[in-house]
Amino acid sequence: MTVPVGKRLRYGRMAILALLCLLAGAPVTPLVALGPQQTVHSANPKIGVHTRLTDEVEAWKIKRTLEMVREMGASWIVEYFPWAYHEPSPGGWNWSHADQVVDHARRQGLTVIARLGMVPEWARPDPDEQTTTTTYLDEEHYDDFARYVGAFVEHFRGRVGHIVIWNEPNIGLEWGYRPVDPEAYTELLRAVYPQARAANPHVVVLGGALAPTLAPEGDPEGMNDLAYLRRMLAAGAGQLMDGLAVHAYGWRLPPEVPPDPEVVNFRRTELLHELLVDAGFPEMPIYITEGGWNDHPRWTKAVQPSQRAAFTVRAYQMAWEAWPWCKAVALWAFRYPRPANSYLDYFSFVTPDFTPKPIYYTVQRYARGEAP
């Protein structure tokens, strides 16, 4: 039987259309491949940075950021994995973006420290009754957060070995604008720690990540970090964490300025270490998960760009030579996905369009063992 030409053409067109429909529905292969396994070459394996990939949408930018971190000579990254993004509804997990970040980081040879926080709307009070921020978590929902931490650790077992529980709980802004409460934070650790360890007995759970502050007693904005840690440890936090996350900002002071309880500087980290020793945890490691200097031309806590670069390298070196209890120094912040158009932009090592700032090359030369 012969099919008329017109009919054949029509069948052909329908076949092409069907093929296009099939292709449209087919799973999309990622256009940005992970690439070959890389290794970080660095004279100082404690060098790290806090990346800001949480809101980075494009895969190639995630990959490029992490390539540049490796090329600078940093071995560690700290990255934020918001609970609200990964469990937008109870039990409704979505790890796609987090997987992408972690897999690219590991392919670049980087060790990931995951900072966990940000409360989803479903775990907060009804907004009609009480307005709350994403840092508001009442004790009723500690177990929900602990379940998230357990699920995260389980999902990334073998890929992410360090987690930070919450961020700067000693300031009101990060504690849902409630009075800060070291005992309540310790209870949060008590809820989280067994879940994390059950999911992966080798995971390193980091507590603290306190904001360095000299807030006087009773200040509604926050609590002095030294006082806060002392109360955390008295409440039993030492048994509920494997390490302490520290934020070590230098503001206008060089890294060598000696520690002083009345001063916020880079070596305040030593005071936090001493508190751990005094509480009976001399072996507990410290991981600096934020810190560094800022070179904004007008911000009152900023230094000149050349000073910032010099201080940064000297801080990395100090941790390498003199702080055996400090495992990593991840400074704030490698690159923002978009300009903040404020002093925050002057913490970064690379601009949003991937142009390295001079400090990037200074750290790179240092990591290569060259004179800065």
Of 148, 74, 101, 134, nearest to 362 by C-alpha is 74
What are phi and psi for residue 155, nearest 5 degrees?
Answer: -60, -40
Of 61, 49, 19, nearest to 292 by C-alpha is 49
Q: What share of the chain is helix, strand, coil (3-state, %, to 5)?
A: 40, 15, 45
Least CB distance to other proteins at residue 348 (A): 10
In the complex with other proteins, which residue's Cβ is closer, 96 or 355? Answer: 355
Neighbours of 205 (CB within 10 A): 22
- Alpha-carbon distance values, 272 to 9, 99, 191 (Å): 78, 33, 24
CA dist., res. 202 & res. 199, Å (int): 9
Q: What is the dihedral of CA 17, 21, 23, 25, to 10 degrees?
A: 180
Select the span of 4-12, 202-210, 243-251, 337-345 touching other proteins (CB under 8 A): 337-345
Give the sign of the dihedral formed by CA 134, CA 84, CA 354, CA 39.
positive
Least CB distance to other proteins at residue 56 (A): 15
122 token code pair? 């479903």
In the complex with other proteins, which residue's Cβ is closer, 152 or 293? Answer: 293
Binding mask of the shown chain, residues 305 to 334, with x at each position contacting other proteins by CB under 8 A: xx-xx-------------------------
Neighbours of 134 (CB within 10 A): 17
In the complex with other proteins, which residue's Cβ is closer, 230 or 301? Answer: 301
In the complex with other proteins, which residue's Cβ is closer, 97 or 357? Answer: 357
Least CB distance to other proteins at residue 304 (A): 6
Angle formed at CA 97 by CA 95 and CA 100, multiple of 5 degrees: 105
User: How many residues in the chain?
Assistant: 372
Residue of 299, 320, 325, 337 interacting with other proteins (CB under 8 A):
299
Distance of CA 175 to the CA centre of its chain: 18
Binding mask of the shown chain, residues 107 to 146, with x at each position contacting other proteins by CB under 8 A: ----------------------------------------
- Residues in region 236-295 near other proteins by CB under 8 A: 295
In the complex with other proteins, which residue's Cβ is closer, 133 or 306? Answer: 306
CA dist., res. 363 & res. 349, Å (int): 9
Residue of 8, 202, 338, 368 interacting with other proteins (CB under 8 A):
338
Least CB distance to other proteins at residue 214 (A): 17
Least CB distance to other proteins at residue 136 (A): 19
In the complex with other proteins, which residue's Cβ is closer, 166 or 293? Answer: 293
296 token code pair? 């904004």
In the complex with other proteins, which residue's Cβ is closer, 96 or 300? Answer: 300
In the complex with other proteins, which residue's Cβ is closer, 157 or 301? Answer: 301
Of 340, 351, 265, 267, nearest to 301 by C-alpha is 265
Q: Does the protein bind other proteins through residue 60 (CB under 8 A)?
A: no
Binding mask of the shown chain, residues 340 to 369, with x at each position contacting other proteins by CB under 8 A: -xxx-------x---x-xxx----------
How many residues touch other proteins under the rule CB under 8 A: the total is: 20
Task: Please say whether the beta carbons of 214 and 164 come within 8 A.
Answer: no
In the complex with other proteins, which residue's Cβ is closer, 270 or 295? Answer: 295
Least CB distance to other proteins at residue 336 (A): 11
Applying CB under 8 A, the residues found at the interface with other proteins are 295, 297-300, 304-306, 308-309, 338-339, 341-343, 351, 355, 357-359
